[in-house]
Amino acid sequence: MTSSVSHAATDARRQLIDFISADAVFHGDFTLTSGKKATYYVDLRRVSLDHRVAPLIGQVMLDLIADVPEVVAVGGMTMGADPIAAAILHQGAARGLAYDAFVVRKEPKDHGRGKQVEGPDLAGKRVIVLEDTSTTGGSPLKAIEALRKVGAEVAAVAVVVDRATGAREVIEAEGVPYLYAIGLEDLGLT
């Protein structure tokens, strides 16, 4: 990597951390999806749908997944993964990369073609499952299950913010590499 690319990647990541810290971290008493209590909550949709931040997410996540070979598409469980996949698709296109996006529904549609995975045909293709913030790893696991049913090969799970609450271990126990861009230490939450 050249120093200019490295500097640009570092700068985008620093800016992303600043936006998340300022606009997406809330302090108080919260109950997480897992049922566990927390003194802070990271609401990434506050920034992933922001015109200033979405491009940074795309750039940082592209850098994170750059070394995963032969990936053709990115996506995950709707709703959290959708803006992340769109950011990667658009920033990838701007870099001359060809990542398609997909969406995994919570349940298969009960009409039309009854699909659970929407987007391009992924049978026999390598994909990356995305998540905005990971706590238990439950959402990526559901996405992995749905993708394997359609014949996709899950090359990795890539998360914007990892809460260090066991998701990595759960995903890796499924035989899938776990990558994350930003940890609690980056946000001053440790």
- Residues tagged in the binding site annotation: 105-106, 109, 111, 131-139, 163
Interacting residues of 101 by C-beta distance below 8 A, sequence separation 6+: 73, 74, 75, 85, 86, 88, 89, 119
CA nearest neighbour of 182 among 34, 52, 47, 70: 47
Q: Which residues are annotated as a binding site for 5-phospho-alpha-D-ribose 1-diphosphate?
A: 105-106, 109, 111, 131-139
Tally of CB atoms within 10 A around 185:
9
List Cα–Cα distances, 176 to 84, 136, 137, 138, in angstroms. 19, 15, 12, 13
- As annotated, the binding site for orotate includes 135, 163
